[in-house]
Structure formats: structure tokens, C-alpha cells
């Protein structure tokens, strides 16, 4: 998922905001104890999410795909006073590590964890969200998006991760590559959706920003 030379990526990271110590610790523990640690958001993208949240200043954030909680903490850094993050993950085994670092971050009282199928949980949420971050099962991205957009405020921002899929979106599509096909269709849907303004950023594995009109 890295498209730039390592030396250039290092320069970019070195000249961006430092990774907070608590997130350094969370990243290390994730790599030591959790399967597929490459799924973690990481330093540079985490600072991007933090900056976007600080610019948007959301009161309510919805995150679809918590993993070990790194991105939720980054997003919480931009919350308005008394703001709330609702974060959803299908894997109940990650709940304790999420809560451990949420509480250590100082945002624990502002981060509400949900465990289960996001498509069942989102319709039950009563809030309207100013910021949505989608980073879960790629084949369900369009379903997550359609469910979440019904819960957004005017001018809300929806961020979708991994939309470049390690560059596979521009490679010949294999007949059995269901995930890449789903992302290709999703990316086109966002581009064509008249409800939003869309910008795809080449950050890490691709981030798409959609602003609800």
C-alpha cells in the first residue's frame, strides 16, 4: 500500500506532527499481539485523520471499523467540547485493547464502542454525524456508505479508507477478485453520487473525502 519511495515517505512523516506516545504504544502492542497488524492506521495517516477532524470540528463522529482503536483516538482529537465518537467493530476480541487505550488517551468518556454488524447497528443510532470514517469489510463499503449517509448532517464529511487497494484498482481485474471489483464500483459510485462532492487523496492506501451537499 506504499506508493512512494521509502526515503520520501520518511521525509514526509518526519516533517509532519509527531506520533503521540500513546499511539506509539498502541501500534507496538498491535504488532505484538493482534493478527494482521498492517491494518492499523499508523503514524502519518493517523495525523491526517487528526488534522481533518480538527479542521471539521465535529460534534458527532461515526467510525465503521475500529480495529484496535488507533484511528478512533486520532479522530477524537478533533472533537468539539463534549463531542462523541461512536465506533463499530465486528470483532469482540478487540474490545478490551480498544477500551484500554481509549481510557488512557483521555477521550475514553467520549468514545462509545459497539460490537457487531455495522449495518444492523447504524440504523439504531439516534445521532446525526458530522464526520464518518469507513474502514471495515471492503465488499460492504457501498452498504456502509448508504447506511451512514442517512445519518449525516448537511456538509458532513465521509472518509473512506483503502480505496486504492494497494494499486489493484488500476491493474487487470481477476475474475475471482471480488474485493477489488467492489472497490472499483464503490469508487465510481462516490464519483457519480450527486449527494456529495468527492475527492480521492493518494494518502497511504487511498482516502476518499465526500462532503455531503
pLDDT by residue (tens digit) across 179-191? 999 999 999 999 9
CB atoms within 10 A of CB 16: 14
- Region 125-144 average pLDDT: 98
pLDDT exceeds cutoff 80 at 79: yes
> Which residues, 6 or more positions from 91, have their beta carbon under 8 angstroms from its beta carbon?
115
Residue 178 parent element (H or E): helix 178-192
- ∠ CA 182-185-186, rounded to 5°: 85
**Which value, in Å, is the radius of gyration of the alpha carbons in the chain?**
16
pLDDT of residue 1: 63
Q: Per-residue pLDDT averaged across 139-159, rounded?
A: 98
- Going by pLDDT thresholds of 50, 70 and 90, the confidence category of residue 57 is very high
158 pLDDT band, cuts 50/70/90, is very high
Q: What pLDDT was estimated at residue 3?
A: 83
- pTM over the 0.75 mark: yes
Contact 57, 127 (CB under 8 A): no
Kindly tell me if the per-residue pLDDT of 15 is higher than 90. yes
Q: Cell for 51? A: 488534522
For residue 116, the model assigns a pLDDT of 98
Average pLDDT over residues 42-55: 97
Upper half-sphere CA count for residue 16 (Cβ side, 13 Å): 18
Q: What is the pLDDT averaged over residues 100-123?
A: 98
Amino acid at each position: 500500500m506504499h506508493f512512494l519511495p521509502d526515503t520520501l515517505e520518511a521525509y514526509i512523516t518526519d516533517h509532519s506532527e509527531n506520533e503521540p506516545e500513546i499511539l506509539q504504544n498502541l501500534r507496538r502492542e498491535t504488532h505484538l499481539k493482534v493478527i494482521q497488524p498492517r491494518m492499523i492506521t499508523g503514524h502519518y495517516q493517523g495525523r491526517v485523520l487528526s488534522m481533518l477532524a480538527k479542521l471539521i470540528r465535529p460534534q458527532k463522529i461515526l467510525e465503521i471499523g475500529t480495529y484496535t482503536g488507533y484511528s478512533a483516538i486520532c479522530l477524537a482529537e478533533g472533537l468539539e467540547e463534549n463531542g462523541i465518537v461512536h465506533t463499530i467493530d465486528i470483532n469482540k476480541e478487540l474490545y478490551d485493547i480498544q477500551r484500554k487505550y481509549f481510557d488512557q488517551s483521555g477521550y475514553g468518556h467520549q468514545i462509545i464502542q459497539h460490537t457487531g454488524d455495522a449495518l444492523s447497528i447504524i440504523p439504531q443510532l439516534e445521532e446525526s454525524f458530522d464526520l464518518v470514517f469507513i474502514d471495515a469489510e471492503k465488499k460492504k463499503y457501498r452498504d456502509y456508505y448508504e447506511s451512514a449517509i442517512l445519518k449525516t448532517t448537511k456538509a458532513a464529511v465521509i472518509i473512506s479508507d483503502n480505496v486504492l487497494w494497494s494499486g489493484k484498482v488500476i491493474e487487470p481485474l481477476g475474475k475471482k477478485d471480488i474485493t477489488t471489483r467492489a472497490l472499483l464500483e464503490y469508487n465510481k459510485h462516490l464519483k457519480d453520487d450527486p449527494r456529495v462532492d468527492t475527492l480521492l487523496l493518494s494518502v497511504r492506501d487511498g482516502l476518499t473525502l465526500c462532503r455531503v451537499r
